[in-house]
Each structure stands twice: as structure tokens, then as C-alpha cells.
Amino acid sequence: MGLNLISFGPREVTAASAMPAVVSAPSHNKLIVRGFRASRLSLRWVDWRLGLLEQATKDVDALHGDAKNIRLTVLRKSFSRDIAVLSDKLRTSQNPLSADFRQALQKALQLIRRNIYEKGLIVDEGTAGRCDPNLWGGGMPFAAATPGSPEPRISVCAAWFSMNADLHRDVITHEFFHLIGLFDQPLIASTADAFNDANTMAQLVASIHDRNRWEDSSGLAKPTHAYPAP
């Protein structure tokens, strides 16, 4: 049998015309395309938002005296949620003018932009291939990626389709972080761990985009402290 493949690039969502026959239900195709589009939209919005924060930190840092203190107060208020999410997810300082925070912000933006412009094919594999429960100790992931393999490098699995739209979006964001070299870190104890972990970065994007989010889209993980909203 052939595989149902959808080609995803930074500006395109098109059927792979040279691929074998479609085998999954059309409704599955629609969910994959919808999840991919939502992933790209959230990434681009967060790129814009964090770009504003990065420029604001540069502008404030260039000031002196009372003017600097006043603008810093405004910055902290205007970007309170963004600062809290970055500090928590990336295990970095809560001071937006600190070297640690600004370096973490810069690195996060670099990874987000690489995710946006990464190309890849997504295949619905149900319970086969990379989705085979025998590969996962009897369980099944929502999706799986093998960055070093030929396309399609991303599989969505049977468990993914019954989940909510936020999880659909965030899982695809997660898998594209795998394509650019991030892993599944078992423990996040440092900023370096956070930047190597696809889930940390995917949930960072989700928590900044969804201004009232208070838990991961899986519902299994909560922040170490409440994030400001919105």
C-alpha cells in the first residue's frame, strides 16, 4: 500500500504529487493540514512577540538613570507573561536586562525561526511504522520523527487524531523541533537542557501564544508558578 503524504514548507501546504496512493481517510488529511497551519501561525506570532521583547530590552538597556527605571517598569508590565514563560521554561533569570535572560531570548528566537522555515513531510501511520506500539514499550506516541531518515520524516499516530486542536498544533510544532536537532530530554535542569528539548520549546511557544494557558496542551504538566494573563 502507498502512504498518505503531505508536504510542508514555510509557505506551502501541498499534496506530494509524486507519492503513492492515499490510504488514510480525508478527515485525517484535514486534521493534519489544520494542525500544521495552526503550528506555523503560532510560531510566527511568537516570533513577532519575542522580537518586540528583544528590541524593548535593547532600547531600555541603552537608557540611564530615572528614564531607564521608568521604561524598565513599563517593559516588565507590558511583557509580564512573556518574561515569566521564558524564565520558567528556559530556567533563566527573571530580569529581562540580565545577560542570561537576553541570551536565552536570542537563542529561543533562533530556534523558533529555524522551526518556521524547516521543510518536511508528514505521514499518517496509524499504529504502524514509527507509530508501532512495540517500539514504545507497548504505548503509542502522538507522533514521531526521524530527522536523519528520508522523507517523510514525521509520522502522526492513531492517538493524535482524537485529541484537541491545541495538542494537534503543539505536537506538530514539537516534531518540527526534532527535525532541527532537538531531542526528548528526560530532565530539564538547566537552560542548556531546555534548549535541547523539543517539548520545552513547543510548550514555550504554546504558552506565549495562548495568553490564558495555565498547563501544557496534554494537561499533564503545569508551570512551576502561575503565569500572568494575558
Residue 3 has pLDDT above 70, yes or no: no
Q: How far apart are CA 87 and CA 218, in angstroms?
A: 21
What are the angstrom distances between the C-alpha of 149 and each of 121, 162, 208?
A: 11, 27, 31
More confident residue, 4 or 230: 230
In this prediction, residue 26 carries a pLDDT of: 54
The per-residue pLDDT for range 111-129, each reduced to its tens digit, is: 999 999 999 999 999 999 9
Q: What is the pLDDT of residue 20?
A: 34
pTM above 0.95, yes or no: no
For residue 169, pLDDT beyond 50: yes
CB 19 within 8 A of CB 3: yes
- Number of Cβ within a 10 Å radius of residue 107: 16
pLDDT score, position 221: 79
Alpha helices, DSSP H, located in the chain: 26-61, 65-78, 80-89, 99-117, 158-161, 165-179, 191-196, 198-209
Region 182-208: what's the mean pLDDT?
97
pLDDT digits (tens, 9 = 90+) for 64-118: 999 999 999 999 999 999 999 999 999 999 999 999 999 999 999 999 999 999 9
Counting residues of the chain whose pLDDT is more than 90, the rounded percentage is 82
- Percent of the chain at pLDDT above 70? 89
Stretch (H or E) spanning 6: strand 5-9
H or E element at residue 125 = strand 120-126
Computed over every residue of the chain, the mean pLDDT equals 89
**Cα–Cα dist 173/138, whole Å:** 25
Q: What are the distances in angstroms from CA 68 to CA 23, 64, 73, 148?
A: 61, 5, 9, 48
Q: For residue range 48-59, what is the model confidence (pLDDT) as tens digits? A: 999 999 999 999
Instruction: Output 200 or 217, whichever has higher pLDDT.
Output: 200
Residues 151-172: what's their mean pLDDT? 96
- Cα angle 119, 45, 175 (rounded to 5 degrees) comes to 35
Sequence-distant (≥ 6) Cβ neighbours of residue 61 within 8 angstroms: 68, 97
Domain 5-209 carries which CATH code? 3.40.390.10
